Structures are given as C-alpha cells and as structure tokens.
C-alpha cells in the first residue's frame, strides 16, 4: 500500500521489478489496510509471492503523522525471463 504510487514504483525498479498494477484507491486507510491483508492471505502461497502469510496493513502508512489520502493497494512483478532475481 502507498499514498504515492509513482514514487513507490520507482523504488521497486531499483530492485529489478518492472511492473506495478494499482488494484484499488480509497480515501480510507483502514480499508486499504484490510484489502492489502486480504490480498496477501489469498495469494501468499503462490510461487513468487514475497509477502509472508498473515502480513499486510503494517506498512509505511502507519506513521504518527498520517500522509493524506488517497491511498492505493498495488501488486508488483517482473518478466519471467528477467536475467536476475528481484527483491
């Protein structure tokens, strides 16, 4: 989850990721936390998923001073033929 998808994607490209799909946008941080956790729970068993089972909602948006909405849930990925491992 993020409040700035462009900046977040640029940080992923430094680790070798090539794609980012924005799944949902909301002004509700609680909704975004819940959606992220649900997406991870539903997909954590798939090969290549970097999120641990039971995680989600604990990211950088949990600051004492909250960043303003909108908030986004996203998925990142890369090509299967990429020459190096990502992450």
The tens digit of pLDDT for each residue in 33-46 reads: 899 889 888 888 87
CA atoms of 63 and 27, how far apart (whole Å) = 16
How many other CB atoms are there within 10 angstroms of residue 56's CB atom? 21
Asked if the peptide bond before residue 47 counts as cis, ω within 30 degrees of 0, the response is no
pLDDT tens profile 11-70:
988 888 889 999 999 999 999 989 988 988 888 887 777 777 766 656 666 667 778 999
* Helix/strand/coil for 52: coil
CA atoms of 57 and 35, how far apart (whole Å) = 8
Q: Which residue has the tokens 């990142």?
A: 76
- pLDDT greater than 70 at residue 82: no
Query: 54: closest CA among 43, 73, 40?
Result: 40
């Amino acid at each position: 989850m993020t409040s700035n998808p462009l900046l977040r994607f640029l940080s992923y490209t430094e680790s070798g990721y090539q794609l980012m799909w924005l799944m949902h946008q909301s002004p509700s941080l609680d909704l975004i936390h819940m959606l992220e956790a649900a997406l991870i729970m539903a997909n954590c068993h798939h090969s290549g998923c970097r999120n641990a089972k039971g995680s989600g909602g604990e990211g950088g948006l949990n600051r004492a001073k909250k960043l303003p909405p909108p908030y986004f849930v996203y998925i990142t990925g890369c090509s299967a033929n990429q020459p190096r491992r990502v992450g």
